Amino acid sequence: MGRATIHDVARAAGVSVSTVSKALNDNGRMAAETRARIKQVAEDIGFRPNALARGLLFNRSFTIGLLTNDTYGRFTLPVMAGVSEALVDKGVSVFLCAIEDDPALGKIHVDAMLDKQVDGIIATGKRIDRSLPVDLSGLPVPVVYAFTQGAPDSVTLTSDDAQGAGLATDWLLGIGRRRLVHVTGPQDFASVRERATAFRAHAGAGAEVLCGVWAERWGHEAVAQLWERDGEKPDGIFCGNDQIARGVIDALRERGIRVPQDVSVIGFDNWEIMADQARPPLTSVDMNLKELGKEAGRTVLALAEGKIIEPGLRKLPCRLVVRQSCGGGSA
């Protein structure tokens, strides 16, 4: 059998072709039961609208471009999953272009997106305080920024680092930890500064922050610094990412210090492959990147449809995923 056509749907439903078109495109006047029945008939016989014809009808391509320099995919893949989930029911496809940190490659991909007449572009990256190495201002399609620095007067979405750090610190305090230390990454990251400020605000102005690199070895080095000096030792450590936290847990275990009985540890990112395999499994702050992607998808689609969206920076809340490294239970 050949591909089902709109005429096949009309015959099977016992209505005109124009009625089928109105039902499937959610326009025109008809009873809700009739519209639902026609859509069900179309699904039953395997009818799929012609994308080219649909694009000509609505003057849209029903595609969104996702541009990123996060070639490792740690942040981009969950964002893309959210974008796709938000748009799939709208008949909109998403295609990903990785530009690394190459401005020339970035321009090539942007030009290709415009040649394909995408309805909009979502720009995402690997840190919130660096823009992609390509100019996206002045394009003839809407651009939404998610987990990367946006252009002036743009819609920019990011996770709320301060709120996430507050969740972690309050949890440690809530389970009775009082000697808290924050072990985090390089101070030139905006996220590091925001989390450290929030940590001090919740734990007390004198709470210690140690800055290093985004690596397990820094977690080992931080524990060595803390345990080889005089004075009281921490009973709660909040780490700037899950890799550092893994290093902290391993270093504590090597010293015979029990997690979570002696010291509670919390990470940041909720990178499940890292958190689940820690010993014990790691409590971590989840940046809700999938939800960030959903919001970016909904926003760029609204802009493509001509709706007015107020520009500016929007911070989406994080959530705490509690595992055994700070006593288990649920958040």
- CATH number of the domain within which 12 lies: 1.10.260.40
Residues 205 and 117 in one domain: no
Whether 253 has a pLDDT exceeding 70, the answer reads yes
Q: What is the pLDDT of residue 317?
A: 97
Q: Residue 21: its pLDDT value, please? A: 78
> Based on the domain organization, do 87 and 154 belong to the same domain?
yes
Average pLDDT, the chain: 90
2 and 62: one domain? no
12 is a domain residue: yes
Distance CA 307, CA 65 (A): 19
Q: What angle do CA 92, 95, 100 make, to 5 degrees?
A: 150
Does 50 fall in a domain?
Answer: no
The residue among 43, 22, 101, 108 whose CA lies nearest residue 68 is 101
- Is residue 139 a part of any domain in this protein? yes
305 found inside a domain = yes
Q: Which residues pair with residue 236 across a beta bridge? A: 180, 264
What does the angle CA 196 – CA 199 – CA 202 come to, to the nearest 5 degrees?
A: 150
Residues 6+ apart with CB under 8 A from 100: 69, 71
* Structure-token pair, residue 256: 């015979």
Q: How confident is the model at residue 4 (pLDDT cuts 50, 70, 90)?
A: confident
Between 286 and 53, name the one with better pLDDT.
Answer: 286
Q: Mean pLDDT, to the nearest integer, of 309-322? A: 96
Asked if residue 79 has pLDDT above 90, the reply is: yes
Contact 197, 184 (CB under 8 A): no
Torsion of CA 3, 7, 13, 14, to 10 degrees: -150
Domain containing residue 297: CATH number = 3.40.50.2300
Tell whether 184 and 278 lie within a shared domain. Answer: yes
Q: Is residue 153 located within the same domain as residue 77?
A: yes
**Domain identity same for 250 and 275:** yes
Confidence check: pLDDT of 117 > 70: yes
The answer to whether residue 48 sits within a structural domain is no
Measure Cα distances from 170 to 17, 199, 209, 266 in Å. 61, 9, 16, 11
Model confidence pLDDT, tens digit, residues 169-221 = 999 999 999 999 999 999 999 999 999 999 999 999 889 999 999 999 999 99
Is position 52 within any domain?
Answer: no
Distance CA 227, CA 278 (A): 21
- Looking at residue 67, its pLDDT comes to 94
Is 104 within a domain? yes
170 phi, psi to nearest 5 deg: -65, -35
Q: 276 is in which domain, residue-wise?
A: 161-287+320-326
pLDDT given at position 2 = 63
Clarify whether residues 153 and 170 are in a common domain.
no
Q: Among positive and negative, which fits the CA dihedral 162, 211, 279, 73?
A: positive
Per-residue pLDDT at 55 exceeds 70: no
Average pLDDT estimate for 251-265: 96
Percent of the chain with pLDDT over 70: 95
4 occurs within a structural domain? yes
Cβ neighbours for 306, distance < 8 A, ≥ 6 positions apart: none
Q: Is the pLDDT of residue 127 over 60?
A: yes
Same domain, 209 and 168: yes
pLDDT at 254 over 90: yes
Instruction: Flag whether pLDDT at 330 surpasses 60.
Output: no
Mean pLDDT of 232-257: 97
Tens of pLDDT along 149-160?
Answer: 998 889 999 999
Please check the confidence at residue 53 and state whether its pLDDT lies above 90.
no
Q: How many Cβ atoms are within 10 Å of 176's Cβ, its own excluded?
A: 10
**Does the pLDDT at position 10 exceed 60?**
yes
Structure tokens at 161: 């680092």
In the predicted model, is pLDDT for residue 29 greater than 90? no
DSSP character for 277?
T
- pLDDT attached to residue 329: 42
Residues 171 and 282 in one domain: yes
233 and 138 inside one domain: no
**Minimum mean pLDDT range among 11-20, 74-83, 201-210, 271-280:** 11-20
| Interatomic CA distance for residues 121 and 123, integer angstroms | 6
Six-digit token string for 313: 């920076």
How many domains is the chain built from? 3
Supply the DSSP symbol for 59: T
Rg of the chain taking only CA atoms, in angstroms: 25
Co-location of 123 and 170 in the same domain = no
Q: How far apart are CA 296 and CA 119, in angstroms?
A: 13
Q: Is the pLDDT at 328 greater than 60, yes or no?
A: no
Give the tens place of pLDDT for each residue, 285-313.
999 999 999 999 999 989 988 889 999 99
Residue 238 confidence (pLDDT) above 80: yes
- Distance (Å, whole) CA 269 – CA 256: 27
**Of 27-31, 33-37, 246-250, which has the strongest mean pLDDT?**
246-250
Q: Are residues 175 and 145 in the same domain?
A: no
